[in-house]
Amino acid sequence: MKAKYRFLLAVCVLGLLMTGPFVVTSFLVWVDMKEAERLMLTELLMSRLPVGTMMTMFGFAIGVAVLHKLFKQYVEGLLRMAETLRLMLSANRNFRVSLEGPPEVQQLASAANDLAQQRDVLMDDVDSQIARAKASVEEEKNRLAALMSELAQAVVVCNLDGRILLYNNRARLQFKALAQGPTSVSGGALIGLGRSIHSILEKSQVEHAQEVIRQRLSAGKSAISNFITTTRGGQLLRVQMVPVLAPGADGDAAMSGYVLTVENITRSIEQEARRDQVLHSLTEGSRAALGNIRAAVGNLIDYPDMEAELRERFVSVVADEAAKMSQRLDQTMVDFSDSMKTRWPLEDVLGIDLIAAAQRRIDDKLKLPTKTEELDDALWIKADSFSLVFALVFLAGKLQDHYEPRELRFRLTSEGKLAYLDLIWAGPAMSSETFYTWEMDAMQIGSEASPLSLRDVIDRHGGEIWYQREKAAHRAYFRFVLPVATPEIEAEAEDRKRGSGRPEYYDFDLFNFADKSIDLDRKLSELTYTVFDTETTGLEPSKGDEIIQIGAARIVNNRLLKQEIFDQIVDPEIPLKPESIPIHGITEDMVRGKPNIDVVLPAFHEFCEDTVLIAHNAAFDMRFLQLKEERTGLRFSQPVLDTLLLSAVVHPNQESHKLDAILERLGINIDTRHNALEDAVATGEVFLKLLPMLEEKGIVTVRQALEAAEKTYFARIKY
């Protein structure tokens, strides 16, 4: 029975206790009295009844007030204490019961806190022993994470249903680049734990590759399959599949999943096609010229006595066609040499790392002091670091042999898509002939020699090298002009700021997961969720307020994946309300030029497809999405769970169910409030801590959670 019903029952009992004895006694006396006595008693009572009634009502009111006070202090106080104790046992072991209420309740609360403290000491001891026991396993797991995360090749591991259970950082970045939609929308590609690889790769090709592997396994051959597929954006991918084998029922190894290595070959195919086109144009274009030259030469040989004017015409044909062939050959060589440069393996290198490597080599080989000045420490260069460092040390050795500088200095700057790497020294001027000789000679440093010249290295980087003097400073420098890189690792910067440690791109428990469709009767712990939040121009969606930020994260297999996020600022196409800016911190400059809701909402819809939605005060956020249904043609039809309502289900006696109050109760820390992504992540952590409490109340399925939430008082709130 709920507490309020028990209070009403207590009030009824109090009323019966106050009026019952009087009524029963009056009835018994009335039965034994004669008629005259009854008339006399009636007259007497009628004259005294108002006073007696008022005294009875006054006494009843005092009794109810005292009863209410006792009920608040003892009954509701003990119920709140019980909820707090459950919090201490499950979600937040550091939480403590407040010492409030009458002395007896305070003593009970103090005793409960003491017991909790003793429990914490014991649990800390147990945790330390478990931590020591798991140290070796954790070390192996971290090695695997490091290996997979840093591989230069895109790797994805799936179970037999095509659900992704592991992917490395290269795969994440590669598929993000292949994602459909505007690049300004930061929803990312549809790769993530628990998602289907079939949303990226053609399902029929994946299934055919699986069948090929099964046939090769049954034939005792090496189990491997390759195929090439096309993405929705027209990119060509080369995919290699190898099986993950597990013991089968009959003892033989059976396929329980597969590993995919994915390579984008679009650029290489285009380069091959370009080279073929160059060679084709050379051969086809030369055939006609050669025919004309052959005919002209044949006529000159066959008719040695022809007229001078006619002879001059044939000679002119030979000269013109030869000039055209020479021009075509020169152009072909230029195109082919550019193509050769693109085939030279260049990697993204941080400029300051390249300079540091050169400094170490110069100090080790030449014992020549080096310093740096004006370094752009965030500049990345497309380079072969070995040959470029060798070239820098080679030049340093030449300078030491001919000009004996006291020290060398390095400078690294950029302009547009070009990086300037300068090797600076103080000394006399150098002749252009000397520099040309150094540029064309094969490079050698002591006993180390390279078949490449300095010019070869520069050409293979598609760059240039200049010699210049700073007359005012009496210095000179070699300037390497190199292409600037935009390394994919920069895309990780925001991810790494969101959490310490290595990103979680794997979950081997997903080997045992099959169908992920939304079934209201499935357990809450078995489903995939998208927890989201919005920031808006105001609190009245029906009166024209608009979304200015959407943030979301995914929950897969009871894990909040902080790396698989959606975070996008939206241009509301209306002025922001000045009073709302201090709350969410988003200004007019931040939304200007961002994609509008017509672009962002489809990307978010794709991000949360086939998942249960979670939000805090979800009615508010969902109202904004519902009002855009007609404009965008998108409906968010999946179930929606509200952590505000679920908190009211779990802790009905707590006074507040605001997100801040819940975070404090559950011991969850958040860096920034009223940021859509941060609030979404905090809401996801709240939901995961509420799951075991819901299970204690017998709420284990989505349907049960929705039904319980609808019965709470806060479910009446509408927007």
Catalytic annotation, residues = 674
- Determine how many CB atoms are found less than 10 A away from the CB of residue 277: 11
Sign of the four-CA dihedral 218, 224, 228, 229: positive
Q: What is the DSSP letter of 522?
A: S
- Determine how many CB atoms are found less than 10 A away from the CB of residue 458: 20
Q: In this structure, what token pair is assigned to residue 383?
A: 């380079």
Please give the Cα distance from 614 to 640 (Å, whole number).
Answer: 6
Of the candidates 113, 189, 296, the residue with the CA atom closest to the CA atom of residue 603? 189
- Determine how many CB atoms are found less than 10 A away from the CB of residue 688: 19
Please give the Cα distance from 454 to 480 (Å, whole number).
Answer: 11
Q: What is the dihedral of CA 535, 539, 544, 547, to 10 degrees?
A: 10
- Determine how many CB atoms are found less than 10 A away from the CB of residue 116: 19
Instruction: Give the strand pairing for 253-264 and 154-159.
Output: antiparallel
CB 172 within 8 A of CB 156: no
Phi, psi for residue 576 in degrees, rounded to 5: -75, 145
CB 263 within 8 A of CB 153: yes
Instruction: Give the strand pairing for 612-615 and 640-642.
Output: parallel
Q: In this structure, what token pair is assigned to residue 94?
A: 């550091």
Please give the Cα distance from 407 to 428 (Å, whole number).
Answer: 14
Q: How far is CA 44 from the centre of its chain?
A: 86
Please give the Cα distance from 530 to 625 (Å, whole number).
Answer: 15
CB 245 within 8 A of CB 256: yes
HEC assignment per residue over 181-206: CCCCCCCCCCCCCCCEHHHCCCHHHH
Please give the Cα distance from 4 to 652 (Å, whole number).
Answer: 12
* The one-letter amino acid at 34: K
Please give the Cα distance from 49 to 471 (Å, whole number).
Answer: 118
Please give the Cα distance from 445 to 449 (Å, whole number).
Answer: 6
Specify the residue for token string 């992917």.
167
Please give the Cα distance from 677 to 533 (Å, whole number).
Answer: 7
Of the candidates 199, 189, 214, 197, the residue with the CA atom closest to the CA atom of residue 159? 197
CB 400 within 8 A of CB 366: yes
Q: In this structure, what token pair is assigned to residue 445?
A: 């440093």
Angle, helices 659-666 vs 643-650, to 10°: value is 50
Instruction: Give the strand pairing for 154-159 and 164-167.
Output: antiparallel
Of the candidates 589, 574, 508, the residue with the CA atom closest to the CA atom of residue 541? 574
Phi, psi for residue 170 in degrees, rounded to 5: -60, -40
Q: What is the DSSP letter of 200?
A: T
List CB contacts of 597: < 8 A, sequence separation 6 or more.
546, 547, 570, 572, 628, 631, 632
